Amino acid sequence: MTHSYSIVGLGKLGASMAAAIASRGFDVIGVDISRRVVELMNDGHAPTQETDLEKTTSANKERIRATLSHKEAILGSDVTFVIVPTPSDERGAFSLQYAAWAFGEIGRALAEKDGYQLIVMTSTVLPGATRYGLLPILERVSGKVAGRDFGLCYSPEFIALGSVIHDFLNPDFTLVGEIDKRAGDLLEACYSDIMLNSPPCKRMSLENAELTKIALNTYITTKITYANMLADLCERIPGGNVDVVTDALGSDQRVGSKYLQGAIGYGGPCFPRDNIALRFIAYAIGSNADLAETTDQVNRNLLKRMAERISEILKPGTTVAVLGLAYKPYSHVIEESQGIYLAKALSQAGARVVAFDPLANEMARAELRDHAVILSSVKDCLAQADIVVITTPDPAFQALTAADFGQKESTVTVVDFWRILKNELDGKSGIKYIPIGYSTDDPANEARLAELWSETIPGVEQEAG
């Protein structure tokens, strides 16, 4: 059976989902409170920046329609995905403010619909939110009963900004939290039609699915933080090389290589808040999430230590170039960006900061204000810099050569968190290259270990002299 879809919320994720589903040959009605967003979608244009969104929207505009009316969307579709903001509140929980309003509008539309409708909550929420926070709104406003008159599922996306459309259509698995078998069967069938790679579908209760989503994200942040810990250790042992260590670790199937690189801390709109939210829900229901709390704290402390480390080599009049202001490559998002934090911290430490990012310059300019001068190219940054800090492995930075750093009277210091220029810059004249996660002072590291172990071997007398 061919289904038609509606999507409530046409932000970066919702608009990408609409375009992706339409690209698979299905009709999609998008709903948003912004008239500009609706007009752009109806004209075949992307309402926000995301890889391939403009192209995919334009190519499938005959199957995409947008509206301000929830009623129009519900009455004109069989399945509705709700992907609205669930921002963190003062407790660290995910607020249901926007979701509750959307579910009220959906409920009013359901009251006028004769047939069965499947509602799918897609935004990230905490365990219990869908069943006890949102379902009552649907039933109260619509006057209908879940399971009999409409279905309800919780099914989040597993995507990364910068590759939303690709990730949505090619997931490792789909996650379906279902209120009953009928709803789960229908959503699994929909995913079977939509997804390109025939992923396995993991079906479970609403609460287990809500926990799985937040657990997956916090597990990934723990893995990132562990790799960053190893990077710091490798800098302190002779011949230390975090890439060698993590490559070996990742070869073990129990570990895996993804997110095990060792570099800079994690950022973005999801990862930092997810650990805090897991801690909140754990304590709220009488458990604990000490590991999540520690991961968050270690991640924040790492960046503070890095800022202090770079600040120690500042001199009066030093210009620092920060390359990478988005929280990751291929994105214009600067939320919880490591580059933004470093730019502010180094400016406050007395440096003159210049900065560049291929996509995030405009967003960063508004955020950094007096802390940094945003320049229009990498070349402009390098021409002025005494110290260069590379915070993301963006292709624009990976393509740099020693010649790009120019001939200066004094040596330029390059702090490379991702080690993307090690082969190009290490040992080059006029460049002091500092690859994070590598030992750069073997004699000192050797002396430290020799002192440690020579004093702890019982029964062995030290030779005089």
Percentage with pLDDT > 90 across the chain: 93
Number of Cβ within 10 Å of residue 301's Cβ equals: 11
Q: Which domains does the chain have, with CATH numbers?
A: 5-199 (3.40.50.720), 215-300 (1.10.1040.10), 313-436 (3.40.50.720)
Q: How confident is the model at residue 9 (pLDDT cuts 50, 70, 90)?
A: very high
Stretch 258-278: mean pLDDT, rounded?
93
Stretch 62-78: mean pLDDT, rounded?
97
For the cut 90, the answer to whether the pLDDT of residue 462 exceeds it is no
For the cut 80, the answer to whether the pLDDT of residue 461 exceeds it is no
Residues with catalytic function: 270
Instruction: Tell me the C-alpha to C-alpha distance, in Å, between residue 334 and each of 14, 283, 307.
Output: 20, 30, 18
Q: How confident is the model at residue 407 (pLDDT cuts 50, 70, 90)?
A: confident
**From CA 422, how far away is CA 420, in angstroms rounded?**
6
Stretch 241-264: mean pLDDT, rounded?
96
pLDDT of residue 409: 76
pLDDT of residue 408: 74
pLDDT per position as a tens digit, 283-329: 999 999 999 999 999 999 998 999 999 999 999 999 999 999 999 99
Residue type (1 letter), 443: P
pLDDT of residue 465: 43
pLDDT per position as a tens digit, 344-361: 999 999 999 999 999 999
pLDDT per position as a tens digit, 162-214: 899 999 999 999 999 999 999 999 999 999 999 999 999 999 999 999 999 99
For 58, phi then psi, to 5°, come to -65, -40
For the cut 90, the answer to whether the pLDDT of residue 362 exceeds it is yes
Q: Which residues pair with 120 in a beta bridge?
A: 81, 153
For the cut 90, the answer to whether the pLDDT of residue 463 exceeds it is no
3-state secondary structure of 228: helix
Stretch 27-56: mean pLDDT, rounded?
96
- Average per-residue pLDDT in the chain? 95
**From CA 117, how far away is CA 190, in angstroms rounded?**
13
Longest dimension (CA), the chain: 94
Stretch 19-23: mean pLDDT, rounded?
98
pLDDT of residue 454: 87
pLDDT of residue 17: 98
**Can you tell me which residue has the tokens 């959503």?**
187
For the cut 50, the answer to whether the pLDDT of residue 377 exceeds it is yes
Stretch 323-350: mean pLDDT, rounded?
95
pLDDT of residue 464: 43
Crossing angle of the two packed helices 242-250 and 206-234, in degrees rounded to 10: 140
Of 101-110, 205-214, 236-245, 405-414, the poorest mean pLDDT is in 405-414
For the cut 90, the answer to whether the pLDDT of residue 455 exceeds it is no
